[in-house]
Amino acid sequence: EFLSFANNRLKGLPGSIGELSQLRSLYLNWNQLEVVPEGISRLQALRELQLNHNAIHELPSWLAHLKNLTWLTLDQNPLDPQAISFVKSELPLCKTDLSSHF
């Protein structure tokens, strides 16, 4: 239910990450991700996604379809203003950490 790839200098994840249907927490903080790996879109049980301290500029629209997501960390990413607006409008029930953007 919990998987951490934190602090590994990852630039991506294999698509097979989406096969972990019972995964509830995924820690990808402190890597070199420039995009949110698409395989995550199939993790419908996911409750917590940590993406802080990466190189992410944009957020995919499918994040809004992760209905069980309740915690998302995005601080210390060079997010575009549109990405910040997306979080506020499309993920209103999800606790988010955007502290480095205010």
Give the residue from 54, 45, 40 showing the smallest Cα distance to 10: 54
What is the predicted pLDDT for the residue at 38? 95
pLDDT at position 101 is 67
Determine contact, residues 34/56, Cβ cutoff 8 Å.
yes
Rounded average pLDDT per 10-residue block, the chain, 102 residues: 97 96 98 97 97 97 95 95 92 81 60
**pLDDT recorded at residue 102:** 53
Residue 2: helix, strand or coil by DSSP? Answer: strand
User: What is the structure's pLDDT at 69?
Assistant: 96
Domains of the chain: 2-101 (3.80.10.10)
